[in-house]
Amino acid sequence: MDKPALRRWARGVWHTLDREALAAQVLGALLPWLRKGGFGNILLYHPLPCELDLTPLVEGYPARYYLPKVGGEGLTVHPFGPLAPGPFGLLEPTTEAVDPKVLDLVLVPGLAFDREGFRLGRGRGYYDRFLASVEAATLGAVPQALLLPRLPRDPWDVPVGFLATEEGVHQARRRRTP
């Protein structure tokens, strides 16, 4: 299946899921992992309908939180604060941008992920361009039902290092190259 067909399939699966219950389960798995890692500067995302809402972390885990904002062809990083409507139906921060180097963890949304950490996004490449430029740890949040064995890839696709599902947080499995 190609990426457009997978996006249609994934949206259909999302509409059958109890996103609120799954988000609570993923948060339950994520909190001990965050505490163990001691992350202090975390990029969240404001969820779209086919994404897990992890914003309750702000109340459940002490850290400095940031949100991305679409700017030109990329994402900028802003302290968590007041939101206003932006492009693509996203609520975006109104605070001033900061250097992404402050981040030590980036939480990444996706329609689906594979076990190697590659994501099926919305097709515009914003997160891939951003992930290619950050040094922070990266974690994809996805229901187990949308964690696939392997997704189709393009040369510019950037995998995340960790995956969080309702079953726990795991390092993405990298294939060994011969």
Return the pLDDT at 71. 76
Instruction: Report the C-alpha gap between 25 and 134 in whole angstroms.
Output: 28
Q: What is the SS3 assignment for 170?
A: strand
Delimit the domains of the chain by residue range: 3-171
Return the pLDDT at 91. 79
Strand order in the sheet with 112-114: 119-120, 112-114, 147-148
Return the pLDDT at 175. 60
Q: What is the CATH number of domain 3-171?
A: 3.40.50.10420
- Given a contact cutoff of 8 angstroms between Cβ atoms, the answer to whether 159 and 108 are in contact is no
Q: pTM, whole model, 2 decimals?
A: 0.91
Give the residue ranges of the chain where pLDDT is below 70.
88-89, 175-178
Antiparallel, parallel or unpaired: β 41-43 and 105-108? parallel
- Given a contact cutoff of 8 angstroms between Cβ atoms, the answer to whether 150 and 115 are in contact is yes
Two tokens, residue 16? 């059958």
